[in-house]
Amino acid sequence: MPNDRLGRRSRFKRTIATKNITLTNRDIEIFHWLYRYRYLRAPHLISFLQPRSEKRFIERLGDLFHETGLIDRPPAQWRHFDARCTPMIYELSAKGLLFLKSRNQLPQRATSLSRRKRSGTTVQFDHAMMIVDALVEIEVTTIANSDQRFVSVDEILARAPDTTRATPNPLSVPVTIQPNAAYQNIKSPWNTHIIPDALYGIEYMIDGEKRYRFWALECENTSPSWRSSPRKSSLARKRAAYDALIKSHQYQKHWGIPNLNLKVSTRDK
């Protein structure tokens, strides 16, 4: 059955009711935000767009999903889906992406999350949502402050050196971890690469001048805090790598940013 006993459309399967949908400027904004972040919860979109009626806004998201096919509801979210009160997660569909491209309206991205479809990626999806949740909270806070502006990863990389932008993954930065007391199982200099879960900055207006601070974001979902082998992922190894990166100032040469801080987000924040 396409609808439930109360006549409501399925939340899991697209059901067309042949409504006459005319796209509005706010709909286009929804598409922009979904492209910017890859995934967004309905409350995220409400925080960004501040609709007069949240109920009507949620209904409009449903229409855009069911009737236009321009946005999708990623199936990985159903594993944690308990009731109709659970906030829905949305993404831009392939059709929606083509729509934005046809208008030459692709905004700068806040995340570098891949758009490739994969099966069996619930763990990766959970991790992706941790990244999105952390960044949305930060950007919403900057929007609320007139003297702040969120600086996205695309904006950072657009100003990075040509050699960095020409690499397969511009976020991958080389670093050498020296033997240190914080990670004692590294006995000799160890060369590796860091790929942050996200890279962002905040522009501050202070006394009429623009000042900038930049962060690498690491969201810990499954990695343990410490492992005996430095070749296996752990929070301790990541901290040691970032300590080395910040101390060497390699981020300046690689990304062209003047400073770097580390922000770690966990399930418990």
Do the beta carbons of residue 47 and residue 139 sit within 8 Å? no
User: Residue 137 is encoded by which pair of tokens?
Assistant: 């909270």
CA-to-CA distance for 259 and 76, rounded, in angstroms? 36
Q: What pLDDT is attached to residue 264?
A: 93
Calpha distance 221→210 (Å, rounded): 35
Q: Quick one: pLDDT at residue 45?
A: 98
What is the secondary structure of 153-170 as a DSSP string? HHHHHHTS-HHHHTSS-T
Question: Angle CA(86)–CA(51)–CA(71) in degrees, nearest 5?
Answer: 55
pLDDT at 1: 38
The predicted pLDDT at position 233 comes to: 60
Domains of the chain: 1-107 (1.10.10.10), 113-269 (no CATH)
235 backbone dihedrals φ, ψ, rounded to 5°: -65, -35
Cβ distance 62 to 27 under 8 Å?
A: no
Block residue for tokens 């922009």: 32
Count of beta carbons in the 10 Å neighbourhood of residue 88: 19
DSSP code, position 66: I
pLDDT in tens, the chain (269 residues): 355 444 566 677 788 777 889 999 999 999 999 999 999 999 999 999 999 999 999 999 999 999 999 999 998 887 766 655 678 999 999 999 999 999 998 999 999 998 776 555 566 898 999 999 999 999 999 999 999 999 999 999 999 999 999 999 999 999 998 887 766 677 778 888 999 999 999 999 999 999 999 999 999 866 655 555 555 566 778 888 999 999 999 999 999 999 999 999 987 65
Beta-carbon contacts of residue 163 (< 8 Å; ≥ 6 apart): none
Which two structure tokens, joined as six digits, stand for 50?
A: 């501040």
The pTM of the full predicted model, rounded to 2 decimals, is 0.87
